[in-house]
């Protein structure tokens, strides 16, 4: 009896493999994996960065992706759900991550497809792995810790679940930030509100990281917005004209980042196209980034996000 909970070795031929009942299919090409369910949900994940570049329900795209985004592994994807590890933002000088690129190396490394498992006939999961052995020498020299990442993407009828296990098989403790940098697609930024963050302290990166208390439970975005909400509760609700579009529920993660570069910010982002695209997206990013997560040798850490679409 096959244990459906454990990832099974992928036996997918180069084309697609369809489950006997046609409920679930995993199509793998050389650079990406596509999941699809009979319900009409699909998700596509690049092996580069294990970046989710598409999440659709009944052909409706739910993630924002720049039309100028590189998808060939030449640079991090602009949009979808890039992974941030082991540092969020510009690496602080004088820390072990100081030589790394902004947001770390997870989003710009090639991950291995570890396997898949059917959770039920209406959900499918694939697992990706990245370890210190898999890093290129240059990156390894910049952050010489022994680590293992196991990233699970689970697609169901209404949700896209992303979960990361960080392992420290070495002896030396390392500190890390981690974040799922989700670009949600929305109809119109002028009708958007974000709820679930009221009363929290946020660090406003547009005001030199000033600490401000959030007073609104229906946050509107009317200018460049770049905030780290510290110790946020479980769920954030993204609405348009008062109707819920998404619920983002984090597990094992401390903080939520809210970002929209807005009209002035997109001008500085070369691979952001169309420039007007800021009107149709909001980044709601669950992570542990306000502080460092410390992982001792032999220990493991786990955290993830459930993105639910309200269609």
By CB under 6 A, name the one of 7, 73, 89, 252 that touches ligand TA6.
89
Q: Please pick, among 181, 211, 263, 276, the residue that the annotation labels catalytic.
A: 181
Contact flag: residue 180 with ligand TA6 (CB under 6 A): no
Q: Nearest-CA neighbor of 153 among 185, 121, 184, 180?
A: 180
Q: Which is nearer to ligand TA6, 107 or 116 (CB)?
A: 107
Mode of pairing for the β-strands spanning 159-167 and 243-251: unpaired
CA distance 200 to 164: 25
223 binds ligand TA6 (CB under 6 A): no
209 in active site: no
Q: Parallel, antiparallel, or unpaired: how do β-strands 243-251 and 210-213 relate?
A: unpaired
* Among 103, 161, 214, 285, the one annotated catalytic: 285
- Residue of closest CB approach to ligand TA6: 259
What are 36's two structure tokens? Answer: 């699809």
Interacting residues with ligand TA6 between 269 and 288 (CB under 6 A)? 283, 285
* CB nearer to ligand TA6: pick between 200 and 257: 257
Burial (CB < 10 A; 0-12, 13-18, 19+), residue 20, is exposed
Interface map 59-78 toward ligand TA6 (x if CB under 6 A): -----------------x--
**Residue the block writes with tokens 């052995």:** 133
Task: Name which position in 259, 262, 278, 292 contacts ligand TA6 (CB under 6 A).
Answer: 259
Q: What is the DSSP string of 231-276?
A: T--SEEEEEETTEEEEEEEEES--EEEEEE-HHHHHTT-TT--SGG
User: Which of 70, 102, 206, 223 lies at the binding interface for ligand TA6 (CB under 6 A)?
Assistant: 102
- Other CB atoms within a 10 A radius of the CB of residue 136 amount to 12
214 is a catalytic site residue: no
Considering only residues 161, 214, 226, 255, which one is a binding residue for ligand TA6 as defined by CB under 6 A? Answer: 226
Nearest distance, CB of residue 227 and ligand TA6, angstroms: 9
Q: Of 120-149, which residues contact ligand TA6 (CB under 6 A)?
A: none
Question: For ligand TA6, which residue of 56, 103, 203, 307 counts as binding (CB under 6 A)?
Answer: 103
In angstroms, the CA 267 to CA 154 distance is 35
Cα gap 70→309, rounded to integer Å: 26
206 forms part of the interface with ligand TA6 (CB under 6 A)? no
Q: Please list every residue from 10 through 29 that binds ligand TA6, using CB under 6 A.
A: none
Q: Which residues contact 237 (CB under 8 A, 6 or more apart)?
A: 194, 195, 196, 244, 246, 247, 248
**Cα dihedral 131→132→134→136 (10° resolution):** 150
Identify the residue among 257, 286, 290, 295 touching ligand TA6 (CB under 6 A).
257
Closer CB to ligand TA6, 127 or 226, in the complex: 226
Cis peptide before 193 (omega within 30 of 0): no
Q: Closest separation between CB of residue 153 and ligand TA6, Å?
A: 20
Instruction: Cite the active site residues.
Output: 181, 285
Residues that bind ligand TA6 (CB under 6 A): 76, 89, 102-103, 181, 205, 226, 257, 259, 283, 285
């Amino acid at each position: 009896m096959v244990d459906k909970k454990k990832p099974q070795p992928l036996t997918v031929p180069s084309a697609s493999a369809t489950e006997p009942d046609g409920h679930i299919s995993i199509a793998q090409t050389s650079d990406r994996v596509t999941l699809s369910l009979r319900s009409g949900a699909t998700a596509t994940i690049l092996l580069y960065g294990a970046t989710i570049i598409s999440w659709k329900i009944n052909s409706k795209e739910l993630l924002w992706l720049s039309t100028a985004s590189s998808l060939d592994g030449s640079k991090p994807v602009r949009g979808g759900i890039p992974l941030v590890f082991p540092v969020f933002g510009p690496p602080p000088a004088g820390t072990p991550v100081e030589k790394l690129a902004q947001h770390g190396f997870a989003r710009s490394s090639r991950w291995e497809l570890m396997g898949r498992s059917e959770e039920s006939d209406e959900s499918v999961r694939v697992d990706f792995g990245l370890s210190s052995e898999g890093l290129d020498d240059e990156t390894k020299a910049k952050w010489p810790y022994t680590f293992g990442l196991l990233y699970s993407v689970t697609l169901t009828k209404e949700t896209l679940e992303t979960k990361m296990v960080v392992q420290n098989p070495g002896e030396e403790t390392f500190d890390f930030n981690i974040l799922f940098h989700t670009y949600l697609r929305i109809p119109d930024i002028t009708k958007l509100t974000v709820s679930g963050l009221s009363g929290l302290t946020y660090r406003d990166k547009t005001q030199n990281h000033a600490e401000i208390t959030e007073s609104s439970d229906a946050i509107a975005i009317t200018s460049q917005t770049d905030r780290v909400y510290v110790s946020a509760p479980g769920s954030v609700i993204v609405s348009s004209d008062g109707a819920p579009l998404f619920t983002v529920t984090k597990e094992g993660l401390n903080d939520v980042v809210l970002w929209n570069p807005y009209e002035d910010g997109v001008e500085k982002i070369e691979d952001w196209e169309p420039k007007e695209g800021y009107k149709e997206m909001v980044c709601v990013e669950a992570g542990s980034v306000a502080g460092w997560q410390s992982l001792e040798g032999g220990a493991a850490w786990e955290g993830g996000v459930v993105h639910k679409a309200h269609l």
